[in-house]
């Protein structure tokens, strides 16, 4: 993946760009459009050939499918913007589901449902805080720290569940994924609310600006007096918390807590923001990109299923699409290796 | 004398076991401008960084308004009204100029915890501050889109805009052209009148004469001279800096033999001219010749050097090297043919900061140091590096230490060392080779350049310091708007003429 582009537009002595106003159709905009156009090239023919693809029911099922991925993708997006990476998100999904399931064992009623939700999210927040402390206070590179917690969270999940699948029969909890308002299930609302909140925070608030600054040039952020450690810890806590929430929603969907359910999700979580134009080197991109990335991946999976493509091939196609999407973005924004 | 606003009492600093500062005593008075002088690696940046709170001293005490400072963090320093413009750029490249100017001081609405950004207000205020400085920078451009010298100005504006009580400027003029330097001096004059205390470092004596009320000289981490500027001659300052008498330098340029040029550039252009005029130019240099490139920021000197070396394609024209057409230019082919380029920005394009000094010095010549299957002959690598660094009076611990630990000027020397290590160089393209280098070592670099020329190397030097080009070059080519506007022969060097050509007046 392209981690090098950040410093390609080097300040050089021939920067006559200084006085130019940002045009409406500048390269940046164009670049973000290219992937959308490619996306449309996939969706429109498919919708004509298979009208069920754009039925309300199918769109809802796509959104349902991606709501879990979206939450962890958002969290990952925040961490990547801050210049790090979080590999532990998949394990947190499993752990949070197990925690919720354990809490619900033998307990019914709305009260316990809320406790279970809180417990799952809290588990994610704790792992996230652990990641943040390891990275920001102990100076462990995030790749290594979260590779460690990937294993730790998975192990803790196995211990809590004794390696078993813990089924859930608390009705209010299961209703989270069944109840719908205006035909739209709750997880989809949650996804969009979280998206809106994060978008506001990242683009409109000081904290968001700090995330970009720390990811863009941590030395400069330090000299400017920003609380860089707090910013980094917050990014991991957000990611952990959202992964915990995703785990709770997933447990409600599959009516069980299974420690290994989220294994491998980190790949999608990282791919989504990158497809959406968030730079893996940090400091560049928008959380909307992460949303776009999961929508793209979810739609493609769904489309391939409708077209009856075997799941084995789906993996291969998915991998190529990730590379292709980033490649298109690279061409459009004229990024180069050096 | 008025009350000191800041006092350093026996401040000492060591990095690991390396002592860098010892027993520094310094007082700063309200409304006075102090020049902090010293050779590369003397400890100037280290001292300024301590005062700003970027690093903590190992021993000693820092007092502000008579109160000892207990917390050494950038935010504590800022809370005391201290602002620093660091030697290396401290801006976030992906953020806009306005975002960078307000970084850490954002204007927000709503409660303190929400911190809703007032982007519009910040843009307007930033633009006003930039316009007051008189430079054509757009506050909405991202920093990565603007040139190095504009980025430097943005940093200065940022510090100034925060109305500091103490302003620390670490080599603020090293990437500014003379026009911009003038603006900076005007600002410092204004600050002084308003009672702001300013400390700046520089390697240019004329700037000290123009700006400083007081001078403090550091040598090997100790203060060797402290006095009011009007009581000092520049010879005294230089002596205190280098601890030896600098011989009056008399450079004798070698005669250039009347042979065909080794590098010739014909009908060349790196960018489209305004209004479609044909501004293509020719350029030729013979073995043993030194040609200086003058011009204001953005005149196209760097673009020219880079495209000849093969980093960027040229818009049009051809390049002949040693008589043969050289169309498929690339850095690796250039190096193989003895065409060497030393870039202007040591951080972005020059050095691999995480690597050792020797590894960096030989980076472009790995072939010469590798044997069968690319196995590196490391002991030779270190010997050769040491030799080159010594010739440049570089201050370093070991050739294995990482370049990031060198002071700014010593990093520059590690970069310039590459042209001493190069195997049989034919043409050297040097882009601002003496940026941030101290007076003593500058003289050494001039000697080395002339010596290389005497051995038949053709040398192109781009520099924003005209006096440097005037001592060093056989000819000066003046760039303006992307092409060579005029070339001056050595016997016709007139500073005023050259400047006028460069700014197009
Ligand atoms: N992080 C570090 N680790 C080890 N040594 C360091 C570190 N930072 C600086 N030094 C050493 O401290 C000495 C003083 O460095 P400093 O940057 O203060 O010099 P300076 O006077 O600013 O020089 P210049 O004119 O080149 O900018 C140098 O010898 C440098 O190698
Ligand atoms: Mg320095």
Report whether B88 contacts B38 (CB < 8 A). no
A315–chain B Cβ distance below 8 A for any pair: no
A284–chain B Cβ distance below 8 A for any pair: yes
pLDDT in tens, B133-181: 888 899 999 998 888 888 999 999 999 999 999 999 999 988 887 778 8
Residue A18 scores a pLDDT above 70: no
Interface with A, mutate which of B80, B82, B104 (most A CBs under 10 A): B104
- pLDDT grade, residue A214 (50/70/90)? very high
A312, exposed or middle or buried, with CB in 10 Å at 0-12, 13-18, 19+?
exposed
A192–chain B Cβ distance below 8 A for any pair: no
Q: Give the integer Cα–Cα distance in Å for A338 and A336.
A: 5
Full set of structural domains in chain B with CATH: 6-242 (3.40.50.300), 254-338+424-505 (3.40.50.300)
Q: How far is CA B157 from the centre of its chain?
A: 18
Does the distance separating the beta carbons of A17 and B141 come in below 8 Å? yes
Answer with the residue of higher pLDDT: B101 or B398: B101
Mean pLDDT of B409-421: 82
Mean pLDDT of B9-30: 91
pLDDT in tens, A98-152: 999 999 998 888 899 999 999 999 999 999 999 999 999 999 999 999 999 999 9
> Which chain B residues are Cβ-neighbours of A16 within 8 angstroms?
271, 298
What is the B362 CA–ligand 1 centroid distance (Å)?
22
Interface with B, mutate which of A3, A4, A5, A12 (most B CBs under 10 A): A12
Does the distance separating the beta carbons of A224 and B146 come in below 8 Å? no
- pLDDT grade, residue A255 (50/70/90)? very high
In this prediction, what percent of chain A has a pLDDT beyond 90? Answer: 58
Q: A40 — phi, psi (to 5°)?
A: -60, -35
b/e burial code for range A175-188 (CB count within 10 A of at least 16 → b)? ebbeeeeeeebbbb
Mean pLDDT of A247-269: 94
Q: How many CB atoms lie within 10 A of CB A49?
A: 11
Residue B13 scores a pLDDT above 80: yes
pLDDT in tens, A48-86: 888 888 888 888 989 998 999 999 999 999 999 999 999
Q: What ipTM is given for this predicted complex?
A: 0.80
Q: Give the integer Cα–Cα distance in Å for A100 and B430.
A: 65
Report whether B201 contacts B44 (CB < 8 A). yes
- pLDDT grade, residue A29 (50/70/90)? low
Q: Give the integer Cα–Cα distance in Å for B263 and A139.
A: 50
Q: Give the integer Cα–Cα distance in Å for B176 and B97.
A: 18
Report whether B415 contacts B437 (CB < 8 A). no
CATH number at A32-333: 1.10.3470
Q: Which of A14, A207, A223 sits opposite B303 (nearest CB)?
A: A14
The residues whose Cβ lies within 5 A of ligand 2, an ion, are: B 45, 87, 407-408
Q: Which of B75, B106, B147 sits opposite A12 (nearest CB)?
A: B147
A221–chain B Cβ distance below 8 A for any pair: yes
Report whether B474 contacts B253 (CB < 8 A). yes
Residue B331 scores a pLDDT above 80: yes
Q: What's the distance, Cα to Cα, between the start and end of chain A in Å? A: 14
pLDDT in tens, B305-320: 999 999 888 888 999 9
Radius of gyration of chain A (CA): 21
- pLDDT grade, residue B17 (50/70/90)? confident
Q: Pocket around ligand 1: residues whose beta carbon is below 6 Å from it?
A: B 15, 18, 20, 38, 40-46, 87, 395, 405-410, 436, 438
> CA nearest B41: which of B414, B446, B430, B381?
B414
Does the distance separating the beta carbons of A7 and B348 come in below 8 Å? yes
In this prediction, what percent of chain B has a pLDDT beyond 90? Answer: 42
- What does the domain layout of chain A look like in residue ranges? 32-333
Report whether A110 contacts A104 (CB < 8 A). no
> Which chain B residues are Cβ-neighbours of A19 within 8 angstroms?
136-138
């Amino acid at each position: 993946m392209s981690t090098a582009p950040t410093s390609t537009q080097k300040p050089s002595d021939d920067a006559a760009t200084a006085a130019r106003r940002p045009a409406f159709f500048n390269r940046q905009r164009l670049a973000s459009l290219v992937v959308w156009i490619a996306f449309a090239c996939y969706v429109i023919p498919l919708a004509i050939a298979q009208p069920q693809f754009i039925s309300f029911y199918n769109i809802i099922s796509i959104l349902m499918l991606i709501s879990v991925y979206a939450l962890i993708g958002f969290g990952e997006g925040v961490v990547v913007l801050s210049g790090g990476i979080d590999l532990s998100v998949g394990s947190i999904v499993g752990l949070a589901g197990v925690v919720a399931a354990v809490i619900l064992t033998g307990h019914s009623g709305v009260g316990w449902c809320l406790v279970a939700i809180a417990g799952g999210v809290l588990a994610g927040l704790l792992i996230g805080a652990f990641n943040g402390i390891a990275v920001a206070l102990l100076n462990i590179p995030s790749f290594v720290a979260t590779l460690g917690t990937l294993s730790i969270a998975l192990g803790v999940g196995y211990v809590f569940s004794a390696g078993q699948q813990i089924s859930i029969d608390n009705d209010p909890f299961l209703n989270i994924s069944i109840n719908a308002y205006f035909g739209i299930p709750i997880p989809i609302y949650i996804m969009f609310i979280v998206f809106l909140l994060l978008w506001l925070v990242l683009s409109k608030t000081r904290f968001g600006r700090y995330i970009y600054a720390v990811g863009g040039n941590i030395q400069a952020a330090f000299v400017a007096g920003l609380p860089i450690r707090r910013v980094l810890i917050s990014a991991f806590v957000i990611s952990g918390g959202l992964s915990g929430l995703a785990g709770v929603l997933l447990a409600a969907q599959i009516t069980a807590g299974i420690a290994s359910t989220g294994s491998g999700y980190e790949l999608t979580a990282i791919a989504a923001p990158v497809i959406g134009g968030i730079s893996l080197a940090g400091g560049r991109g928008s959380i909307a990109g992460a949303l776009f990335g999961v929508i793209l991946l979810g739609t493609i999976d769904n489309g391939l299923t409708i077209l009856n493509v075997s799941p084995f091939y789906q993996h291969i196609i998915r991998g190529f699409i990730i590379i292709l999407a980033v490649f298109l973005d690279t061409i459009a924004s004229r990024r180069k290796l050096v | 004398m008025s009350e000191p606003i800041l006092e350093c009492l026996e401040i000492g600093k060591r990095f690991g076991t390396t002592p860098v500062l010892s027993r520094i005593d310094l007082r700063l008075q309200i409304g006075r401008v102090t020049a902090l002088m010293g050779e590369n690696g003397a400890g100037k940046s280290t001292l300024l960084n301590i005062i700003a709170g970027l690093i903590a001293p190992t021993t000693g005490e820092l007092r502000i308004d008579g109160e000892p400072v207990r917390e050494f963090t950038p935010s504590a320093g800022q809370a005391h009204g201290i602002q620093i413009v660091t030697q290396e750029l401290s801006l976030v490249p992906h953020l806009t100029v306005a975002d960078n100017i307000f970084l850490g001081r954002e204007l927000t609405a709503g409660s303190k915890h929400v911190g809703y950004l007032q982007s519009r207000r910040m843009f307007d205020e930033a633009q006003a501050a930039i316009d007051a400085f008189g430079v054509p920078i757009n506050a909405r451009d991202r920093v990565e889109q603007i040139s190095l010298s504009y980025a430097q100005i943005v940093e200065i504006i940022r510090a100034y805009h925060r109305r500091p009580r103490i302003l620390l400027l670490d080599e603020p003029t090293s990437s500014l052209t003379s026009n911009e330097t003038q603006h900076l001096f005007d600002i410092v004059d204004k600050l002084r009148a308003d009672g702001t205390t300013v400390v700046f470092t520089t390697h240019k004596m004329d700037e000290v004469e123009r700006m400083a009320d007081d001078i403090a000289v550091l040598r090997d981490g100790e203060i060797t001279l402290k006095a009011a500027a009007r009581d000092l001659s520049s010879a005294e300052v230089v002596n205190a800096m280098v601890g030896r008498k600098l011989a009056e330098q008399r450079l004798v340029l070698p005669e250039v033999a009347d042979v065909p040029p080794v590098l010739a550039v014909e009908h060349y252009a790196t960018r489209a001219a305004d209004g479609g005029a044909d501004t293509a130019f020719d350029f030729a240099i013979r073995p043993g010749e030194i040609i200086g490139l003058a011009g204001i920021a953005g005149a196209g000197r760097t673009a020219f050097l880079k495209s000849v070396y093969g980093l960027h394609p040229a818009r049009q024209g051809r390049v002949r090297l040693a008589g043969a057409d050289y169309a498929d230019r690339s850095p690796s082919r250039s190096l193989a043919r003895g065409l060497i380029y030393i870039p202007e920005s040591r951080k972005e394009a020059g050095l691999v900061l995480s690597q050792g000094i020797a590894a960096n010095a030989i980076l472009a010549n790995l072939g010469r140091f590798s044997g069968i299957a690319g196995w590196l002959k490391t002991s030779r690598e270190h010997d050769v590096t040491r030799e080159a660094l010594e010739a440049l009076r570089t201050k370093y611990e070991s050739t294995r230490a990482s370049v990031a630990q060198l002071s700014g000027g010593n990093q520059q020397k590690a970069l310039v060392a590459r042209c001493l290590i190069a195997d049989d160089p034919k043409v050297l393209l040097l882009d601002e080779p003496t940026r941030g280098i101290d007076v003593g070592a500058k003289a050494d670099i001039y000697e080395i350049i002339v010596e290389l020329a005497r051995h038949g190397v053709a040398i192109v030097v781009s520099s924003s310091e005209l006096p440097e080009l005037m001592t060093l070059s056989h000819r000066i080519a003046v760039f303006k708007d992307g092409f060579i506007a005029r070339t001056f022969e050595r016997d016709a060097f007139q500073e005023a003429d050259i400047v006028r050509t460069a700014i197009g007046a």
